Each structure stands twice: as structure tokens, then as C-alpha cells.
Copies of this chain bind each other. A is one copy, B any other.
């Protein structure tokens, strides 16, 4: 059992987690390394090797119990607790994120929604009241938030990040098109569907 996961292993375990979560929802009680391989395009032998490094989770001739394997991977990734995150931006994307059930099943709660636009402050988005950016430091500390999600246009993204960092955030998920400058102890994860698509297209074209 490795002391600390390498980037590659952690990335693959996350993929397994994703597939297993979906599989459980579809009612699959058991799943084989071969099936996980088909959904993830990760070598089946590698999957078994990844998992067996932490214990013998499967049954020979049968496969893995979906539920059991989920718990094991959560334990390995140490993500069994509850995590509160803050969302900045109550527009279309922000609303979609706030009302998505996808976070809840992984123990993640959107615990605060912030906006700059005074018009939107006080409104409710997916059961959460929209707060002012000015209240961010207090709310984030109180709710123990270290993860911030940026769902604002590019021109206000840096302001949103600065506010989040001032309020104590250490992990930023950036759904804007802005390039964000942050201190070295803060990590930024930028998502760009268009680039992901170009990447996929490259491998499709023969």
C-alpha cells in the first residue's frame, strides 16, 4: 500500500469512482474489471493492479461489488467526509451547477452562492439564497469553505478569484474563460469544453 498516490493512480481511481457511481445508479450490483475498462478505456489488467495495491476487493470468477468498491476507493482517496464549496455567479451556468444533484452524492454541498450584481442578491437559486461578495470572508470561514467555483464572465473572474482567496479558498474551479493569477498555495482547475472537444476530434479523424 503506497504511502501517497501518484498523479496517474489518483486520476485513474477518480475515473473508477465516476463509473462506479453511475453504475450503481443504473442498478448494477456487480462489475468486472473488463466492464470498467470498456467505460473508461483503461486497460483491465491495470485496473485490477491499481485496485489490488490497496487490498483484495474483488471475488475471482465474479468481479467487484459496486457498492463495496465505491467505499474502498473513497477511502483510498480520503473523500468520505462532507465538503462545503462556494459558487460565484448566479447566472445560467451557476444555476445549473447549484441545482445539479451531482455534488450531493459525493458528499459535496454548495454551501454558498455569491454574486456581484445587486439585483440578484437575496434571490434564491436551488434552495440557496444568493449572498453579496462582501459577505464572503465571513460566510466562507463560518462554513469552512476552501473550494470555490467560478461561474462568472471572464471580465469579472479575476475579481471573483481574489475575493475567494481573501476568504480562504485554496482550490478554484474555473468555468470562465479567464486566465487566473493566484498565489502558489492555491490551485486552479480550468475547464474548457471546446478544447476537450478539439482533443477528441483529433483522435476521431483517423
Known contacts A154-B25, A194-B102; A83/B201 CB under 8 A:
yes
Contact (Cβ within 8 A) B22 A179 = yes
Contacts of A17 in B (CB 8 A): 195, 198
- The CA-CA distance from A26 to B62 in the complex, in Å, is 54
Of the candidates B25, B177, B202, the one whose C-beta lies within 8 Å of that of A22 is: B177
- The CA-CA distance from A179 to B20 in the complex, in Å, is 9
- The CA-CA distance from A79 to B205 in the complex, in Å, is 10
- Kindly provide the distance from the CB of A117 to the nearest chain B CB, expressed in whole angstroms: 16
Chain A interface residue number, banded = 35 or more
Which chain B residue has the least Cβ–Cβ distance from A206? B4
Of the candidates B171, B190, B198, B204, the one whose C-beta lies within 8 Å of that of A201 is: B171
Judge whether A128 is part of the interface by a CB distance below 8 angstroms: no
Known contacts A96-B93, A99-B92; A18/B195 CB under 8 A:
yes
Judge whether A53 is part of the interface by a CB distance below 8 angstroms: no
Of the candidates B26, B146, B177, B192, the one whose C-beta lies within 8 Å of that of A204 is: B146
Known contacts A146-B204, A202-B5; A193/B25 CB under 8 A:
no
- Kindly provide the distance from the CB of A89 to the nearest chain B CB, expressed in whole angstroms: 10
- Of residues 149 through 206 on chain A, the ones whose CB sits less than 8 Å from some CB of chain B are 149, 154, 170-171, 173, 177-179, 187, 189-205
- The CA-CA distance from A178 to B10 in the complex, in Å, is 22
Known contacts A192-B18, A196-B189; A26/B178 CB under 8 A:
yes
Contacts of A7 in B (CB 8 A): 203
Contacts of A178 in B (CB 8 A): 22, 25-26
- Kindly provide the distance from the CB of A126 to the nearest chain B CB, expressed in whole angstroms: 10
Judge whether A95 is part of the interface by a CB distance below 8 angstroms: yes
Q: Which 6 A-B pairs have the closest CB atoms?
A: A22-B179, A92-B96, A93-B96, A14-B199, A79-B198, A106-B194
10 A–B contact pairs at CB < 8 A?
A: A10-B199, A11-B199, A18-B192, A25-B177, A39-B179, A92-B99, A102-B177, A102-B194, A106-B194, A171-B201
